[in-house]
Amino acid sequence: MKQIANKSWWAAAGVRALKTIAQTAVATIGTSTLIEDVNWLLVLSASFIAGLLSLLTSLAGLPEVNDDSPLIDTSNEDEIIDDIDDESAQEEDVEEDSDEEEADEN
């Protein structure tokens, strides 16, 4: 069950579920002779249930998602921390400059 915390698993499972929803909608609509005869409530409910079942089936595993991949990508953790520190320093500089400007005006 650790795969549900994996971002790539959600992406792959979501794509599969959307494809399943679309295929179910097309198949359900295709059973009607005329567009006027389409039971839209049936199309929506069948498509929703198919998408939900697709997500549940994906819990068993997705071949396109590597189970050995870390749950959180930490390969660029140092760069992210440096970027956050730089942004914080820039915000502090802006606050100091505006405080100085207010003091000069008074």
Structure tokens at 23: 């295929």
Strand, coil or helix: 1:
coil
The count of domains in the chain is 2
Nearest to 55 by CA among 104, 83, 100, 15: 15
Residues 53, 9 within the same domain? yes
Structure tokens at 35: 């567009």
Residues 20, 67 within the same domain? yes
Q: How confident is the model at residue 106 (pLDDT cuts 50, 70, 90)?
A: low
Q: How far apart are CA 17 and CA 21, in angstroms?
A: 6
Residues 60, 103 within the same domain? no
Residues 64, 98 within the same domain? no
Structure tokens at 44: 């929506």
Residue 15 has pLDDT above 90, yes or no: yes
Residues 93, 46 within the same domain? no
Residues 60, 84 within the same domain? no
Q: Evaluate whether 39 touches 32 at the Cβ level (below 8 Å).
A: yes
Residue 75 has pLDDT above 90, yes or no: no
What's the domain range around 88?
A: 74-106
pTM: 0.57
Q: How far apart are CA 65 and CA 77, in angstroms?
A: 22
Residues 50, 79 within the same domain? no
